[in-house]
Structure 1
Amino acid sequence: MTLSRILYLVAILAVGTPLLAQDALSNSVNFQAGNVGSESNLPLPRYVSLKAKEANVRRGPSLTFRIDWVFQRRDMPLQITAEYDQWRRVIDRDGQGGWVHYVLLSGVRTVIVDEDRLVLRAKPSDTAPVRAELEQNVIARLGDCEGAWCELTAGGYNGWAHRSALWGLDPDPFGN
């Protein structure tokens, strides 16, 4: 039995969904990296942002599942790890997550600044002029990434920052 099946069955026992729905869900949900979503045919895992000002985070992919908490930060980056029908399993930068209806999510890419006073530079270079400094936990819109650098827009400022100081994107494919 796979880990995803075990985790799902534990969640089902806590809520009590009929056995047929358990089997359909466990066969449709895809938890392994490098796969594509059964509903969207987009890569899993992948990053999105929260479109809504508030979003209920549920234990399972249906309105009948209990709400565990509510995300309350528009544009917050989230990682989709699984899909089932119109529901997406998401996690935040702390690894906390659950199921959110897909209409509450956006393909607009954002990141969270993980470093205090992150320097935004005019070009992707440590010697480029400084345009601004961003505080930790600021949400910025993500532009292009070139190796170890990503272009960001936040608070009316635009510039380049080290991707290692950001949450909401895959590690640098070049190992920079």
Structure 2
Amino acid sequence: MRSGPLLRRVAATLALVVIPVTMSLSTMPKASAVELGPVSKLPLPRYVSLKSARVNARIGPGRDYPVTWLYLKPGLPVEVIQEYELWRRIRDSEGSEGWVYHSLLSGDRTAIAAPWLKGKATMIDVHQSPAVDAPLVARMEPGVVSKVDECASAWCEVTVSGRAGYVRQQDIWGVYPDEQFN
């Protein structure tokens, strides 16, 4: 098959575009680079929570796209993984993804107690202070949602059912490993 002049020009143009991009990506710092959302200028990915008791997740960023999932629990933590204008692509603790209108999300941090253990006969301990041997103030079943006040040194301070205490960061979904904030 012969390639015409137009095809050769397109191939040459692509080579010019691809090579500089590849070179710039290889020189970027790996661990310290944080991707920022093009609209919000906030980190991607990031955890937020659902603001409303009824949130539609759609297959695309707009009201014309069909609803694939309906969330009925305000305060549920979700992860924002992409932005497009006023829409945010989210992922829930089960891995389901969809597009949600930005005003239905809150910056309040919440977490789900070990959703990967849901349905198993186990509990997540909430301690009085950030130590495994500290007295217990509560125990959470997997799947319980709590408010996250801060995280530091592999522990997060949470509030659940009016009780405040500390859980191991690895026992909740809604914070990143080693993430620290207050």
Q: TM-score normalised by the shorter chain: which range applies?
A: 0.7 to 0.9
> Which runs of structure 2 are paired with 1:25-36 in the superposition (5 Å)?
34-36=34-36
Q: Which residue of 1 aligns with 2:61?
A: 61
Give SS of 1:161's match: strand
Q: Does the Cα contact within 8 Å between 1:111 and 1:166 map onto a contact in 2? A: yes
Q: Is 2:117 the counterpart of 1:117? A: no
Amino acid at match of 1:61: P
Q: TM-score, normalised by structure 1?
A: 0.77
Map residues 4-43 of structure 1 onto 2, 5 A cutoff: 34-43=34-43
Q: Distance in 1 between matches of 2:45 and 2:155?
A: 22
Aligned sequence identity (%): 38
Structure 1 runs (4+) deviating above 6 angstroms are: none
Q: Which runs of 5+ in 2 are unaligned?
A: 1-32
Question: Could you tell me which residue of structure 2 aligns to residue 77 of structure 1?
Answer: 77
| 8 Å CA contact retained: 1:50, 1:78 | yes
Match of 1:140 among 146, 159, 177: 146
The residue type equivalent to 2:46 in the other structure is R
Distance 2:43 2:90 in 1: 14
Aligned AA (1:76): L
In the alignment, the residues of structure 1 paired with residue 88 and residue 179 of structure 2 have an alpha-carbon distance, to the nearest angstrom, of 25
Aligned residue among 110, 126, 131 for 2:132: 126
The CA distance in 2 between the partners of 1:39 and 1:64, in whole Å, is: 21
Query: How many angstroms apart in 1 are the aligned matches of 2:56 and 2:50?
Result: 11
Report SS of the residue matched to 2:103.
Answer: helix
The 3-state SS of whatever aligns with 2:81 is strand
The CA RMSD measured in Å over matched residues stands at 1.5
Residue 170 of structure 2: SS of its match in structure 1?
helix
Q: Aligned pair count?
A: 142
* TM-score, normalised with respect to structure 2: 0.75
2:151–2:179: 8 Å Cα contact kept in structure 1? no
